[in-house]
Amino acid sequence: MPDIILQIKDLHVKVGDNEIIRGIDLEIERGTVHALMGPNGSGKSTLSLVLMGHPKYAVTRGDIIYQGRSILEMAPNERSLAGIFLAFQYPSAVPGVSVANFMRNTLMARHKGDAPLTPAKFKGLLDNAASKLQIDPKVLGRYVNDGFSGGEKKRLEMLQMLVLQPTLAVLDETDSGLDIDALRIIAQGIEAQRSPEHAILLITHYQRILNYVKPDKVHVLVKGRIVKEGGPELAHELERTGYDPIIKELATV
């Protein structure tokens, strides 16, 4: 039997009177990478924020089960402490807090105040993760995302993931706005997180990152519903045809 980390059951979500998610069913198994693809406005980023518990979004029906437990009543920080991680499409700056201090305090919070590593070992962990992402060690002393380029912000999101080692990583269009070299480095970070103990939900608009990160399953989200599923070949089909054939087919149903 597969070890299911995340179950989304008949999920419906509104912002105000606008229903954005219109009945999603999705299961993600431990040790797998799932790609969620879809055109702009399909609800991909909304789903990522709902998984993390953003208060702007109201779940009107359905459930989200994480490791056998409903998380709908859990606050965002509780979900993070439980091992869910969200890499934002547009990461925010945190002036006054260095990357190194942010990472150490976040890791301590994950372990309920008990630092799992000595300062020296933590530095080694951080430096090792930074090297995998080709991050200059000087960046670790800068304030979080303050004055960072878009590519630097995305690398910092991957750095957090590699240090925290979340059970479930949700990556919201981490590939957006990256040149080919930055994209390759980000993909290396994602592959470094792939393991039998973890699961990754990779949300993307384009197929190009899937040239570097091979998903186990691909799901296509259109107008708040998953309308097609398959293996890695589905992503290549979408690259050839775009989303229009799927959208036109739905219009005739």
pLDDT in tens, 55-83: 999 999 999 999 999 999 999 999 999 99
pLDDT band at 251 (very low <50, low <70, confident <90, very high): confident
Domain that holds residue 16: 4-252
Distance CA 222, CA 59 (A): 18
pLDDT band at 44 (very low <50, low <70, confident <90, very high): very high
- CATH classification of the domain holding 35: 3.40.50.300
Partners of 243 in the β-ladder? none
| pLDDT higher than 80, residue 111 | no
Continuous segment of H or E residues that includes residue 250:
helix 244-252
pLDDT of residue 27: 97
pLDDT of residue 205: 84
Q: Which amino acid is at 62?
A: G
| pLDDT higher than 90, residue 7 | yes
Letter string b/e over residues 110-142, b meaning 16 or more CB atoms within 10 A of that residue's CB:
beeeeeeeeeeebeebbeebbebbebeeebbeb
Distance CA 195, CA 33 (A): 9
Instruction: Report how many domains make up the chain.
Output: 1
Please give the share of the chain, as a percent, with pLDDT higher than 90: 75
Site of tokens 């490791």: 67
pLDDT in tens, 135-191: 999 999 999 999 999 889 999 999 999 999 999 999 999 988 888 999 999 999 999
Candidates 120, 203, 224; CA nearest to 157 is 203
| pLDDT higher than 60, residue 113 | no
Looking at per-residue confidence, does 26 or 251 come out higher?
A: 26
- The sign of the torsion formed by the CA atoms of 243, 246, 252, 253 equals negative
> How much is the average pLDDT of 210-221?
95
Please give the share of the chain, as a percent, with pLDDT higher than 70: 97
> How much is the average pLDDT of 20-36?
97
| pLDDT higher than 60, residue 20 | yes
| pLDDT higher than 80, residue 252 | no
Could you tell me how far CA 5 lies from the centroid of its own chain?
A: 14
Distance CA 109, CA 87 (A): 18
State the average pLDDT for the chain.
Answer: 92
pLDDT of residue 248: 86
pLDDT of residue 1: 61
